[in-house]
Amino acid sequence: MVKGFLLAIQFFTVLPIRREIEMNNRSVSWMIGLLPLVGAIIGSITLSIIFAADAFSVSPLITAFLIWLTVIVLTGGLHLDGWADVSDAYFSYKDTNKKHDILKDPRVGAFGVLSLIVLLASKFILLLDLSMQGAAGWTWLIWVPVLSRLMIAFLLVKAPLARQDGMAYYLKRYLTERVLLKAGTVSLVAVIPLVISPELWPLLILLLAGTIVFTIISVIFFKKAFGGISGDSLGASVEGGELWSLILVWCYLSIVMG
């Protein structure tokens, strides 16, 4: 469990873990299963920065910028790369083999740049508007990275692979579903104490339902567009899932709560 947790931090954040850890069926399964806990750490660090900004009476604009920037820095832009590559490949309108070649290309094309601008601008605008509203204490913010990373485990288990190489193939061949289920359970139990206040439980239920729907749509999309998932697909799903969750939060707090 400890090795899997350290691997998850090493692979999916920029937090310094200077230790060589063996990757095997158990450690990789724990790594993927504990990703929601890594998401909770990212959310908690972001939340602490928000509280600090509030203590110094920082403006809503700067608060939104700090949230936006912190998540990018903590993940090292890892998932943004996947979002850009998937966008380049999908909007090329080539056949599946050509799309896979584009995914492997380290260069970013015009569609990748445009999609990154749209993604980052959308996140910032939503965060800015939520910041101006006060956003119900921001405690819900922890669940956005938690749920988006829970999708990675589901996609690796349920979605077919696009090709027999790459990061998704490497991770999937090590996964043991029994250990993964155990790790996921431990992860979610550890995150439960971070549950938002009771008055926002309907929002949490909405986010859970929204994540399930988004994950199902992602599986269908990647199967149809690429023949399955790849490492870039996992990164794109995290970014898309976070944007979707922010949209749901905005709709709930702006429209439902009014």
Q: Got the DSSP string for 198-243?
A: GGGHHHHHHHHHHHHHHHHHHHHHHHHHHSSB-HHHHHHHHHHHHH
Average pLDDT over residues 85-100: 87
- Tell me the whole-structure pTM to 2 decimals: 0.90
Average pLDDT over residues 6-19: 84
Tens digit of each residue's pLDDT (9 = 90 or more) over 157-186: 888 888 887 788 888 887 777 777 777 777
Residue 141 DSSP label? G
Count up the domains in the chain and report the number.
1
Task: Report the percent of the chain where pLDDT is more than 90.
Answer: 28
For residues 76 and 34, what is the distance between their CA atoms, to the nearest angstrom?
A: 19
pLDDT of residue 162: 85
Average pLDDT over residues 179-208: 77
Confidence category of residue 119, pLDDT binned at 50, 70, 90? very high
Specify the length of the chain in residues. Answer: 258
pLDDT of residue 196: 66
Tens digit of each residue's pLDDT (9 = 90 or more) over 39-68: 889 988 998 888 888 888 888 899 999 999
Res. 117: pLDDT tops 90: yes
Look at 28-32, 119-123, 193-197, 246-250 and tell me which has the smallest mean pLDDT: 193-197
Look at 14-18, 36-40, 112-116, 209-213 and tell me which has the smallest mean pLDDT: 14-18
Res. 92: pLDDT tops 60: yes
The answer to whether residues 130 and 248 touch, using CB atoms and an 8 Å cutoff, is no
Q: Which domain holds residue 148?
A: 2-256
pLDDT of residue 120: 95
